Amino acid sequence: MSEGLSRKRALRSFARRLGLGEATAESGLLDTALIHDSYAAETGSRASNERLEFLGDAVLGALVSHALYLRHADAPEGMLSRLRAALISRQALAQTAQRLEIAPLLLLGRGETAAGGAERPSILAAALEAIIGAVYLSEGLEASRVFIERHHLAHAKPTEVIDPKTALQEYTQAKYKKAPHYAIAAQRGPSHARVFTVSVSVAGKTVGSGEGATKKQAEAAAARAALAKIGPQRPTRT
C-alpha cells in the first residue's frame, strides 16, 4: 500500500471518529491542517497548516464567546473574558488534541520529529485550531460549532484554571454590588500540619466554605464552592 493511500485511509478514519462530514474528510483541508511548517519547509511541495490555524483561531474565539454568553447569562464581562481565555489557551487546546489523538497524524520535519514535536503543546494546539479552520471552510459555521461543543467545550473545565477568588469578586460586584468577605471559621491540627476552614459571605450571608493547608488555599476552596452555589448558571430552558 502506498504511503499516500495509507494516509488517506487514516485521515478518513480520523474524520469518521470525530464525526466530521465527508466534505472535510475528502477536501484535502484536513490533511493540510496536520502539516507543520517544518515539514512544509523540508518538502517544499506542501502548504503548512498556518493559514488554517489563523482562520480556526478566529472561529474558535467567536464560537466560544457565543457559547459562554449563552451559558452564563448573568456573568460580568471580566469573568466571561477569563473563562474564554482559559478555554482557548494553549494548555486547554493541547489537552483536547491529545484526547483526540491528533499526534500520530501530524507531519513534521525530521528535526522536529526527533525533538518530540508531536507532543509539544504549541504544535498540538495549532493543529487543533487548523482542523477547526478546515471544518469551517468545508462544512460551515454550524458544523464548526458542533465540533467545538462536542470535542472541546464538553470536556474542558475553565473554572479549574481561572482564579476562583477573582472570579467570585467580579461576579458579586457585578450582580450584588458587594465584595465577598472571607473569615476563618475553624482551624485544627498541629502547627506543622494545620488545616484551615474558611467561610465566605456576601452581604452578611454565607455562600460557601472550604478547607486548605493554608488560609489562601482555604479561601480559594471557599470561593470555588460559592461560585458553584451562586455563580453564573446556564439559562433555564422551558
Q: Is 107 helix (H, G, I), strand (E, B) or coil?
A: strand
Residue 217 identity (one-letter amino acid): Q
- Residue tagged active-site, from 31, 53, 57, 112: 57
Residue 155 identity (one-letter amino acid): H
| Residue 31 among the catalytic residues | no
Query: What are residue 47's phi and psi, to 5 degrees?
Result: -75, 150
Q: Are residues 67 and 148 in the same domain?
A: yes
Decide: residue 197, CB within 10 A, 0-12 exposed, 13-18 middle, 19+ buried.
middle
Position of cell 472550604? 210
Number of domains observed in the structure of the chain: 2
- Domain assignment present for residue 197? The answer is yes
Q: 62-120: per-residue pLDDT in tens?
A: 999 999 999 888 788 888 888 899 899 999 999 999 999 999 999 999 999 999 999 99
Decide: residue 71, CB within 10 A, 0-12 exposed, 13-18 middle, 19+ buried.
middle
- Residue tagged active-site, from 31, 112, 129, 170: 129
CB 194 within 8 A of CB 188: yes
Domain boundary among 130, 160, 190: 160
Q: What percent of the chain has pLDDT over 70?
A: 94
Q: Are residues 148 and 189 in the same domain?
A: no
Residues 189, 88: Cα–Cα separation, whole Å: 41
Range of the domain at 201: 164-230
| Residue 4 pLDDT > 70 | no
- Domain assignment present for residue 237? The answer is no
Highest mean pLDDT: which of 15-19, 49-53, 73-77, 232-236? 49-53
Q: 114-168: per-residue pLDDT in tens?
A: 999 999 999 999 999 999 999 999 999 999 999 999 999 999 876 555 688 988 8
